[in-house]
Amino acid sequence: MTKAELIDIIGESLQGVSKADINRVHDAVFETIGKALEVDGRFAVPGFGTFEVKSRAARKGRNPKTGEEIDIPASKTVGFKPAAALKGSLG
């Protein structure tokens, strides 16, 4: 699903609210999630799941084109753990 499709679906259920307003709310929500991850390292949505910053250790990799071994530096990424309610709804 794209952002535009999400905004259309929300617009259908919230009649009277403009797509521009829905777009602003969408952007504000995801900006807030990003800031919470920067500050706290995690963001939980009850009934949906938890986003959490995770660290990846430095490791060796291989260039698929040349086969040359390369060093991959340590990095951070975001993981997601779904809540039981979301897992249960998936069947």
For 25, the enclosing helix (H) or strand (E) is helix 19-40
Residue % of the chain over a pLDDT of 70: 100
Average pLDDT of the chain, as a whole number: 95
Domains of the chain by residue range: 3-89
Topology of domain 3-89 in CATH is HU Protein; Chain A (4.10.520)
Distance of alpha carbon 42 from alpha carbon 50, whole angstroms: 7
Q: Which pLDDT tens digit goes with each residue over 57-76?
A: 999 999 999 999 999 999 99
Residue 48 gets the label, from left (phi > 0), alpha (psi -120 to 50) or beta, of alpha
**What integer pLDDT is reported at residue 4 of this predicted model?**
95
Assess whether pLDDT exceeds 90 at residue 3. Answer: yes
